[in-house]
Structure 1
Amino acid sequence: MFDAATTTLSSKGQVVIPEAIRDRLGLKPGAQFVVVADRDVVILKVLEPPARSEFAALTAQARRAAKAAGLKAADVPRAITKVRRAK
């Protein structure tokens, strides 16, 4: 299904997503998006947190990878600090 509507960019850079589209997508205040631009096309992709079951699988995979790499819990804060300093 393809919905189309027009909207206007405000002086603050805000865009209102039309009500019919918000309703169809179930968008609520505070919804977050990834914004992608290519020439004259702007795409908003809704960010949704993973399901708990999916998150558990991702966590288990990360723990296995960390264990295989020989990482310890104490290594995590040091790695975060290192990455933040590099920015």
Structure 2
Amino acid sequence: MSTLLVSSKGQIVLPAALRRRLGMGPGARIEVLEEADGLKLRVVRSVATTDVTGMAGMVKAPARGIPRRLEDFDPATLADPFAAWQAMRALDTNVLARFFVDATDDTQAAERRPAAVAALAERSFVSVTVLLELEWVLRRFHELPKRDVSRVLRCGRWRASST
């Protein structure tokens, strides 16, 4: 625990080690919450928005010569055959895979990519489970190299939700 001194201008200086550990640089924002027993400081992190339209088909899956359908590997479709017809507020693995992968063997992917682009253009929720499934689909089903899997997972600026 550190004791901070308030300057004549009402300013405080956070120790450098604490700023480094919290990833705070010049211009970092801190929220001050007044509580019954004192003050609570919380680092405010902004989430950068990204135009995802240029990311569609960003990685190419190797051709195998036999048509393959991603639905054959989608656990949500196996559990509930009508899941695809229900309105979704969250994105599933299938939508993300169709968006990011340009697979010549998946004949339905090109047809469904516009729907995936539309879904990603809206504010969406992607669960941690979906991200893990996406990594598995990219690595095992599409047999993409690690660098392509990493590119896909890094480009989304995914963040954990507190709810």
How does the TM-score come out when normalised to structure 1? Answer: 0.51
Match of 1:13 among 5, 10, 35: 10
Partner of 1:60: 122
Amino acid at match of 2:22: L
Provide the rounded CA distance (Å) in 2 between the counterparts of 1:20 and 1:60: 39
Deviation at 1:13, TM superposition (A): 0.8
Provide the rounded CA distance (Å) in 2 between the counterparts of 1:9 and 1:40: 18
Provide the rounded CA distance (Å) in 2 between the counterparts of 1:39 and 1:9: 20
* Alignment: residue pair count: 54
Q: After superposition, give the CA deviation of every residue in 1:15-62 in whole Å (9 maximum; x if it has no partner).
A: 100111111111101001111012341111111112536xxx8x824x
Provide the rounded CA distance (Å) in 2 between the counterparts of 1:48 and 1:15: 20
SS at match of 2:33: strand
Partner of 2:23: 26
5+ residue gaps, structure 2, are: 51-118, 124-163
1:36 equivalenced with 2:20 (yes/no) = no
Rg: which structure is higher? 2
Amino acid at match of 2:44: L
**Could you tell me the percent identity over the aligned residues?**
41
Which one has a larger percent strand, Structure 1 or Structure 2?
Answer: 1
Distance 1:8 1:40, change over 3 A: farther
5+ residue gaps, structure 1, are: 62-87
